[in-house]
Copies of this chain bind each other. A is one copy, B any other.
């Protein structure tokens, strides 16, 4: 057949959506609504303006934007231009962002007013133009070669994820990854004509961004929120007739608290909850209120959802993240004989990342034998339900944000007084987990807990700063001298009891 190369091409999804659903609502943000034809026009305008600023196909554009319509336009504009979008986590420090900018080497950094101060400071990390939305808007667009097709294997976005080493890596997600995420989610959760997906998770994370792409492919509106306020979200669910919302457990808990457990209208058909298993009391509360909670397991490297647990299974498969979404696959890798069936979780399928940007070695390692090695530990029960036992062994998930202990430890070890440092997550009612550090000081040095917290605050995003620092004589290490964070955690929790 002559189709091999054509099979890799898919028509531009925004153009097709603007043609077929021109007058339908694409985006609801506060009192503003944007229709598909308008969104397409805006994306094309942005694209022309980016091009006028020297951005060329194949380049990368970094975003330092909040959850606003500008983000949505920018993410489609880059695709129109054949440019890779790299949305940056606005909660990071200048130093952290600077590192990512140096790694991704964008042709342009676009920021909005709330991120202006950080953007200004970033000038020392990059030679690319740093533009405010206003400056972009004032740019006279030039004619661009309009996209007609995306290649499935073309990189659409680069999203930074710290991974087990604590060193952030740019996860490359292709157009095909995003397409298959949308398709698999659709086969699993269904698709209704009245669907509206509420996005309050940060759009710079895969959990937020993937909503935007599903919305185009499904032709359904996104109800976008700039920040999480339980009362506002609760009101929005009703007023905007939201049918699906993506949250983390902590958000849902606060939403229920705020509502006084009054429940939600029946049009809310799916509360997609990521970021680790949902605690039993919250599940029971949802069951009592008839809230359709769908737990999900996913990561940046899989363009979001890999497995989901449907509401009917929430309590009888407690602690499970559910089954792999067709056509993806999950298997457990047992490196040694395991009596409890626990091993590393591997994922295969069209949702799996093409690799890490400019890191061929890490890519080869992560994708060995065609399977993504997630670094997470888990097991599959006899019905094929996944139980995630340890999220990337030592990963701390706090309010939906991933925190890698190694990154905080590195910041602490840079302090002149610290000889050893270990960071673990301890349970917290509000955030799920919070990072706590155990440190051993060098001989004849001294520092206070407050002093170290201040040190960290200057170097790390706020959510990563240890909430407590414990001074110890020695840290638990294994025979090879490697820090055993699990033992550290055990001793820490024992002390707290």
Mark A residues whose CB is within 8 Å of B.
Answer: 1-3, 5-7, 10-11, 13, 16, 19-20, 179, 183, 186-187, 190-193, 217-218, 323, 326-327, 329, 348, 350, 352, 354-355, 363, 367-370, 383-384
Contacts and interface: CB of A to CB of B under 8 A. Distances in A.
A16 B218 CA distance: 24
A20 B329 CA distance: 13
A218 B187 contact: yes
Contact of A191 (B1, B190, B363): B190
Closest 6 CB pairs of A and B: A190-B191, A10-B327, A6-B370, A2-B370, A191-B191, A183-B183
27 contacts: A1-B354, A1-B363, A1-B367, A2-B367, A2-B368, A3-B352, A3-B367, A6-B370, A11-B327, A11-B329, A13-B326, A13-B327, A16-B326, A16-B327, A19-B383, A20-B323, A20-B326, A20-B384, A183-B187, A186-B186, A186-B187, A187-B217, A187-B218, A190-B191, A190-B192, A190-B193, A217-B326
Contacts of A326: 11, 13, 16, 20, 217
Nearest to A191: B190
Contacts of A186: 183, 186-187, 191
Contacts of A11: 326-327, 329
A156 to B, nearest CB: 15
Contacts of A217: 187, 326
A95 to B, nearest CB: 32
Contacts of A354: 1
A452 B443 CA distance: 111
Contacts of A218: 187
Nearest to A218: B187
A191 B183 CA distance: 11
A185 B115 CA distance: 42
A487 to B, nearest CB: 36
Contact of A355 (B1, B7, B327, B329): B1
A200 B179 CA distance: 33
A478 B26 CA distance: 53
Contacts of A19: 323, 383-384
Nearest to A174: B1
Contacts of A5: 370
Contacts of A367: 1-3
A357 to B, nearest CB: 14
A341 to B, nearest CB: 17
A63 to B, nearest CB: 26
A316 to B, nearest CB: 13
Given A179-B327, A186-B191, A190-B193, 16 more contacts: A1-B354, A1-B367, A2-B367, A3-B367, A5-B370, A10-B327, A16-B327, A19-B384, A183-B187, A186-B186, A186-B187, A187-B191, A190-B191, A190-B192, A191-B191, A217-B326
A323 B19 CA distance: 10
Contacts of A383: 19
Contact of A369 (B2, B192, B329): B2
A20 to B, nearest CB: 5
A250 B308 CA distance: 43
A369 B329 CA distance: 35
Contacts of A179: 327
A363 B261 CA distance: 63
A127 to B, nearest CB: 31
Nearest to A354: B1
A424 to B, nearest CB: 35
A186 B329 CA distance: 21
Task: Name the residue among A7, A327, A367 with the largest chain B CB count within 10 angstroms.
Answer: A327
A192 to B, nearest CB: 6
A354 B3 CA distance: 9
Contacts of A348: 6
Nearest to A183: B183
A450 to B, nearest CB: 48
Nearest to A370: B6
Nearest to A348: B6
Nearest to A355: B1
A491 to B, nearest CB: 42
